[in-house]
Amino acid sequence: MRQKRYILEEKEIPEKWYNIQADMKTKPMPLLNPQTRQPMRAEDLFPVFCEECSRQELNTTDSWIEIPEKVREMYTYYRSTPLVRAYGLEEALDTPAHIYFKNESVSPVGSHKLNSALAQAYYAKEEGLTNVTTETGAGQWGTALSYAARLFGLEAAVYQVKISYEQKPYRRSMMQVFGAQVTPSPSMSTRAGKDILTDCPTHQGSLGTAISEAVELARMTPGCKYTLGSVMSHVSLHQTIIGLEAEKQMEMAGEYPDVVVACFGGGSNFGGITFPFMRHTILEGRKTRYIAAEPASCPKLTKGKFEYDFGDEAGYTPLLPMFTLGHKFKPANIHAGGLRYHGAGVIVSQLLKDGLMEAADIRQLDSFEAGCLFAKAEGIVPAPESCHAIRATIDEALKCRESGEKKVILFNLTGHGMMDMSAYDQYLAGNLINYTI
């Protein structure tokens, strides 16, 4: 019988995260203090971020960062996640390509986001904090942080993008079940939210607005720090557990990917699965393509400009050197709420500049079409975000059908869509449209 799933034993789960910054030939440009325009030091980030996360953020010398024993112990609750050969999808596409996916949907919260939430909650507890705050779009990150905070005895406050708060009520419920306080953003609870609503009373929110409110709350609350689920380099660092496992699992399968695909909002899951493989491209010249699949309605990689910009709408964050649509950009109300972010992380932005990766913009209807095909072929209803990676993977597999090439394609299934069935209802009813800019 042909083998479909590859799972590592607990003792084989990686003990260190991979820091690609140390191996990049062109290092990312520095974060800048928005007032002085001078490069920021780790201690400059301490008022907002956990101290250890701040040090990890700016670490460009150490290729490997030890995973704390307590975090690694909690990883064993659900890791390793399976590497799965997508035989059903291959047959549906009649492609000679071999398609694999890393199934991050099996975590307790249903997505990859827990990999960094556990680490950030651990560092917050070790620092003696009592509270954490964050933003969330579709709710995967907010759910992960709410759960991780509860495990470490922390109070969590989550600002959820208003349109997603309304579109995805069960994600909101999950956060509240774990004990988090959830507020639709923009809100009247912060200065940033009040200013945004004064300027635009009907504002449906964006990750940029929610970040502004969460950062403000962290600054104003004793014993509280801000955590986030994407964009920043230390988040991608924690997510490399995905690619490091996949590397071992691909070896078990006797193959190595020609193409690695992931959906793209700010870059956490993309970096998580691609960076461990990309080190072989950087250090050994291995020929692998890396594709970031972003929404056509928020195409910062394919249509954005590379420049210094704020990570939030109110301008509270450091200035980040990144591909951006502008921190005032108001994304369309697509159901892939986790991808509705105006900018790309600094590492990914530099890698794109250096030609080490590429990007594809995916229309909303095309993504849901791909998600439905995947569900029929593999029995998993994917999150709307993951549908973008599936679409890009299908496009690559169809090219193989035309050329006859037997490529190996690996993509990251970031989460399941069981909390997103209202989005599928809208798609099946023909009520969704393609937003582009």
pLDDT tens-digit readout, 231-240: 999 999 999 9
pLDDT at 309: 96
- Evaluate whether residue 132 is within a structural domain: yes
Q: Are residues 85 and 128 in the same domain?
A: no
Residues 106 and 130 in one domain: no
Task: Let me know whether 274 and 413 are in one domain.
Answer: yes
Q: Give the total number of structural domains in the chain.
A: 2
Confidence at 312, pLDDT banded by 50, 70, 90:
confident
pLDDT of residue 169: 87
Question: Which is higher by pLDDT, 171 or 407?
Answer: 407
Average pLDDT score over residue span 279-302: 97
Residue 179: is its pLDDT beyond 80? Answer: yes
> Do 160 and 254 share a domain, yes or no?
no
* pLDDT at residue 52 is higher than 90: yes
Question: Is 19 a member of any domain?
Answer: no
> Is 321 found in the same domain as 223?
no
Range of the domain at 182: 112-232
Mean pLDDT of 179-195: 92
Alpha carbon distance 372, 369 (integer Å): 5
Instruction: Give residue 390's pLDDT.
Output: 98
Q: Give pLDDT, residue 336.
A: 83
Tokens representing 55? 């040090």
Does 37 reside within a domain?
no
Shared domain check, 339 and 261: yes
**Phi-psi group of 94: left, alpha or beta (phi > 0 → left; psi -120 to 50 → alpha; rest → beta):** left
pLDDT tens digit sequence for 404-423: 999 999 999 999 999 999 99
**Has residue 226 been placed in a domain?**
yes
* Confidence grade of residue 30 (pLDDT, cut at 50, 70, 90): very high
Q: Residue 81 and residue 267: Cα distance in Å, rounded?
A: 20
Which of 273, 300, 298, 305 is CA-nearest to residue 288? 273
Mean pLDDT of the region 356-382: 98
Mean pLDDT, residues 20-46 taken together: 96
Q: Which of 197, 232, 267 is the last residue of a domain?
A: 232
Strands 5-6 and 83-85: antiparallel
120 is a domain residue: yes
**Who's near 69: CB < 8 A, 6+ residues apart?**
none
Given a cut of 90, whether residue 164 has pLDDT beyond it is no
Q: 258-295 burial string, b = 16+ CB within 10 Å, else e?
A: bbbbbbbbbbbbbbbbbbbbbbebbeeeeebbbbbbbb
User: What value does the mean pLDDT take over residues 423-429?
Assistant: 95
pLDDT at site 333:
78
Same domain, 239 and 382: yes
Q: What is the CATH number of the domain that holds 358?
A: 3.40.50.1100
- The predicted pLDDT at position 293 comes to 98
pLDDT bin (cut points 50, 70, 90) of residue 433 is: confident
Residues 228 and 238 in one domain: no
Question: Is there a single domain that holds both residue 180 and residue 205?
Answer: yes
Give me the mean pLDDT over the 275-292 stretch: 97
CB 246 within 8 A of CB 276: yes
Task: State whether 278 and 134 are in the same domain.
Answer: no
Residue 23: pLDDT band (50, 70, 90) is very high
Assess whether 381 and 258 both reside in one domain. Answer: yes
Percent of residues, the chain, with pLDDT higher than 70: 100
45 assigned to some structural domain? no
pTM: 0.95
Helix (H, G, I), strand (E, B) or coil at 300: helix
| pLDDT classification of 220: cutoffs 50, 70, 90 | very high
Does 34 fall in a domain?
Answer: no
Q: What is the pLDDT of residues 89-138, one digit of tens each?
A: 999 999 999 999 999 999 999 999 999 999 999 999 999 999 999 999 88
- For residues 144 and 94, state if they share a domain: no
Tell how far CA 176 is from the center of its chain: 22
Is 52 contained in some domain?
Answer: no
Structure tokens at 11: 């003792």
Q: Which of 14-23, 163-172, 241-250 has the lowest mean pLDDT?
A: 163-172
pLDDT at position 437 over 80: no
> Domain end: 202, 232, 262, which one?
232
Where residue 259 falls among pLDDT bands split at 50, 70, 90?
very high
332 band by pLDDT with thresholds 50, 70 and 90: confident
**Pick from 397, 405, 395: which is nearest to 91 by CA?**
397
Per-residue confidence (pLDDT) for residue 434, from 0 to 100: 85
Q: Give the chain's mean pLDDT.
A: 95
Among 185, 204, 232, the domain boundary falls at 232
pLDDT, average across residues 271-300: 97
